Amino acid sequence: MMKNLTRVPASLKKLYAVAKKARRNAHVPHSGCQVGAAIRLANGKVYPGCNVENASYGGTVCAERGALQTAVCAEGKIKVKEILVVTDASPPWMPCGLCRQVISEFVADAPGGDIAIYSTNLKGEMLATTFAKLYPGLFSPAELKAAQRKKKR
């Protein structure tokens, strides 16, 4: 993973700035780890997210999920093109397992059937990957539908 560390390119300047701004609002009384995210849709719109923790740790909402929630709330059906995450960690953090599952919900509607994932930090370092690489063999809504069809028989 470390060998793919690059710099945030100029093409991601807007996404990076939006994520950094959201990160400053993170509610992190328990971990102290502020995380920001920004997603860009196929229509060009950008939505921010930050992590919001609570004393029942498992109920924490990560920055990535926060951004997706905001976008769905604003637009309904969305086509997610890119997701950028920013922390002050080096190497930068990749989306957690639960976020990967939530992101998977939007993959079928994504342009080209995949979503670009950029993990960055405040130093401008970046790990770039795609959703398909991050979550091979995913549990998908298609499997759920197949199981439901079987039940009905």
CB of 138 to ligand THU, least distance (A): 17
The distance from CA 54 to its chain's CA centroid, rounded to whole angstroms, is: 20
Phi (first) and psi of residue 10, to 5 degrees: -60, -30
Q: In terms of DSSP H, where are the helices of 94-140?
A: 97-104, 131-134
Site string for ligand THU, 7-36 (x = CB under 6 A): ---------------------x--x-x-x-
The residue assigned the tokens 């950008």 is: 46
Paired strand residues for 5: 127
CB of 86 to ligand THU, least distance (A): 10
Q: Determine if 95 is a binding residue for ligand THU (CB under 6 A).
A: yes
User: Cβ distance 47 to 72 under 8 Å?
Assistant: no
Question: In the numeric block, which tokens belong to residue 122?
Answer: 């405040």
Site string for ligand THU, 31-50 (x = CB under 6 A): x-x-x---------------
Closest CA to 77 of 43, 101, 51: 43
Integer-rounded Cα Rg, in Å, for the chain is: 16
CB of 65 to ligand THU, least distance (A): 8
Q: Determine if 121 is a binding residue for ligand THU (CB under 6 A).
A: no
Q: Is 82 an annotated catalytic residue?
A: no
Q: Determine if 118 is a binding residue for ligand THU (CB under 6 A).
A: no
Binding residue (CB under 6 A) for ligand THU from 53, 68, 126, 131? 53
Residues forming contacts to ligand THU in the complex (CB under 6 A) are 28, 31, 33, 35, 51, 53, 60, 62-64, 85, 93, 95-96, 99
Looking at the annotation, which residues are catalytic? Answer: 64
